[in-house]
A = this chain, B = another copy of it.
Amino acid sequence: MATDQIDGQLMPTERTKLRRNYERGSFDREALNEILDASPLCHVGYILDGRPAVLPTLHWREGEHIYWHGSSASRALKNSVDADVCLTVTHLDGLVLARSAFHHSVNFRSVIIYGKATKIIDPDIKAKKFENMVEKFAPGRWPALRPMTAKEVKATMILSMPIEEASAKVRTGGPIDDEEDYDLPIWAGVVPINSVMGEPQPDPRNMAGLETPEHVLKLLP
Interface residues of A (CB under 8 A from B): 8-12, 14-15, 39-41, 43-48, 50-58, 69-71, 74-77, 84-88, 90, 92, 94-95, 97, 99-102, 104, 106, 108, 110, 112, 114, 130-131, 133-134, 137-138, 141-142, 144-146, 148-149, 152, 155-156, 174-175, 177, 181-207, 210-213, 216, 219-220
Residue in chain B with minimal CB distance to A153: B102
List 19 additional contacts besides A101-B134, A144-B186; criterion CB under 8 Å.
Answer: A10-B56, A10-B58, A40-B95, A43-B90, A47-B52, A51-B84, A52-B86, A95-B197, A95-B219, A97-B141, A100-B152, A102-B148, A102-B149, A104-B137, A182-B207, A183-B207, A189-B212, A192-B198, A194-B195
Give which listed residue, B51, B75, B203, contacts A12 with CB less than 8 A: B75
Give which listed residue, B88, B99, B174, contacts A54 with CB less than 8 A: B88
- Looking at chain A's contact residues, the main secondary structure is mixed
Residue from A40, A141, A185, A189 having most chain B Cβ neighbours under 10 A: A189
